[in-house]
Structure 1
Amino acid sequence: MVAGTNATATFIPAFLASWLQLLAPDECFDEFFVKFNILHVPCLKILISKCLGYAIIVGSFIVKVPQIIKILKAKSGEGISLISVTLELFAISAAWAYGAGHKFPFSAYGEAIFLAIQTGTIAFLVCAFSDQLTKGLAYISAYVGIMGFLLSPAAPMGLLAALQAGNVVTVSVSKLIQASANYKNKSTGQLSVITVYMLLFGSTARIFTSIQETGDTMVVLTYVAAAICNSIVAGQFIYYWNSPKTDSNVSKKIQ
């Protein structure tokens, strides 16, 4: 029998029960697999939240890979605003540091780790394909150093809270800068439609999971802002679907 469950026997093998407890912890495991009360509403909310959370984390492994591949194939970051990418990286990293610092469940913020790695890679590629390799290397080095501090015990909780509080503005400005760049170019350039729509789904689902798993108003508002702004960029893919790509010199001006 797995520790923390009801003394009544369950038909679930011990090795499987430990994994199921990631989705239905403690009392909810008992409700579902001991008492067979599968309609227990509070536990159903937890189960749905956990499933969505881990699904988002799994998806985050590849969410920006299509974007990275598109840049590599084109050997260009045309249409991608480096300012927008940097602000997005800031927001992702603040969420990562805040979630880790407050010891939230990994299912509540884990995707931030993988999104940060991929977003940092995109920023580096935008620099590299703009003949600014040194700038790209300095960018990544500075980022690694900053995150090393934010994830360390030396980082003040007040600082992490301030960074998270600023995320609503940061996320909004990041996406609106990219939306503005798309509008000026009359094209979505090298943006990946798969990546944008996966981010829209993830930010929307995170509203529910954040309410369930953190109850943190700042975190919830951040994902509400992200969902709204991601929907704007996603809508531009439909609007500019058949638009020709713009001259690369125009896109470089907005980076």
Structure 2
Amino acid sequence: MAAVLEGLLVPHLLPPRCYDELLLRLNLLHVPCLKILLSKGLGIAIIVGSLIVKLPQVLKILGAKSAEGLSFGSLLLELLAITGTVAYSVANRFPFSAWGEALFLMLQTLAIGFLAQHFGGHTARGLSFLALYLAVLWLLLSPLAPRALLTLLQASHMPAIVISRLLQAATNYRNGHTGQLSAITVLLLLAGSLARIFTSVQETGDPLMALTFVVSSACNGLIAGQLLYYWGAPAPATAGKKRE
């Protein structure tokens, strides 16, 4: 039984020395190992949550057959930022638990971008968008991508996220409501980015990654604040309905 437990925990959640400290010696106050365990656990929880974090947004768009209130420019910039994180992390061989949610957020954001074009009456443009993005992604993940370019993409995460959220905030302000923006998705993104500040420091030691999530948390907080402020304000296509 002990061997099975060790096989499950080492090296996925704990390095061998921490397995010995926490589970064999029962030294439950060993702070460095507790920090590793907390970071790994949070990372895995964030990745699992990311599988469905934007699903409420997708369902809301499909249910309304409209992406009204969502800024496509904001989606493009968010996709740029997430793609930069994925490519940079793969190139630097960071552990999947430190960035894995970006992969699933990328796929879901891509789907939302297509749906925004499709329900806006531009299906052909949406398909072209998908094809072009997948081609660029293949190049970034291939050995052909210069390391300097990937570092630049990761550095662009912060301005891209800031501009992305400001575009969405401006759209919300101009409309006087948040349209088909899903409250569940926004709050989950805020919680995930806050948790990632700790895990990026603990698992990668990369200050650029940590600062990225600090900025991301502040920007997600802005959109969450607008959701609360405009709560109950009816959108033209959803008047009288409650938000998720």
Work out whether the TM-score is over 0.5. Answer: yes
* Candidates 182, 192, 196, aligned match of 1:202: 192
> 1:5-29 CA deviation, whole Å, 9 max, x = no partner?
xxxxxxx532332221211122211
Q: Aligned partners of 1:26 and 1:39: how far apart in 2? A: 17
Runs of 4+ in 1 over 4 A off after TM superposition: none
> 1:205-252 CA deviation, whole Å, 9 max, x = no partner?
00000010111111111101110010010011110001111479xxxx
Paired residue type of 2:142: S
* Candidates 118, 127, 140, aligned match of 1:128: 118
Partner of 1:107: 97
Assess if the C-alpha contact under 8 Å between 1:186 and 1:246 holds in 2: no
Q: Aligned partners of 1:146 and 1:13: how far apart in 2? A: 46
> 1:54-75 CA deviation, whole Å, 9 max, x = no partner?
0000000000000000000100
Give 1:33 deviation, angstroms.
1.8
Paired residue type of 2:157: N
Give 1:173 deviation, angstroms.
0.8
Partner of 1:51: 41
* Candidates 102, 109, 115, aligned match of 1:119: 109
Q: TM-score, normalised by structure 1?
A: 0.90
Gaps of 5+ in 2: 239-244
Partner of 1:60: 50
Partner of 1:234: 224
Partner of 2:8: 19
Paired residue type of 2:121: D
Tell me if 1:174 matches 2:178. no
> 1:69-116 CA deviation, whole Å, 9 max, x = no partner?
000010000000000001001111110111111000110000111111
Partner of 1:76: 66
> 1:143-169 CA deviation, whole Å, 9 max, x = no partner?
111111111122111111010011111
Gaps of 5+ in 1: 1-11, 249-255
Assess if the C-alpha contact under 8 Å between 1:81 and 1:181 holds in 2: yes
How many residues of Structure 1 are paired with residues of Structure 2 in the alignment? Answer: 237
Assess if the C-alpha contact under 8 Å between 1:185 and 1:246 holds in 2: no
Give the RMSD, CA atoms, in angstroms. 1.2
Paired residue type of 1:189: G
Q: TM-score, normalised by structure 2?
A: 0.94
Cα 1:33/1:247, change in 2 over 3 Å = closer
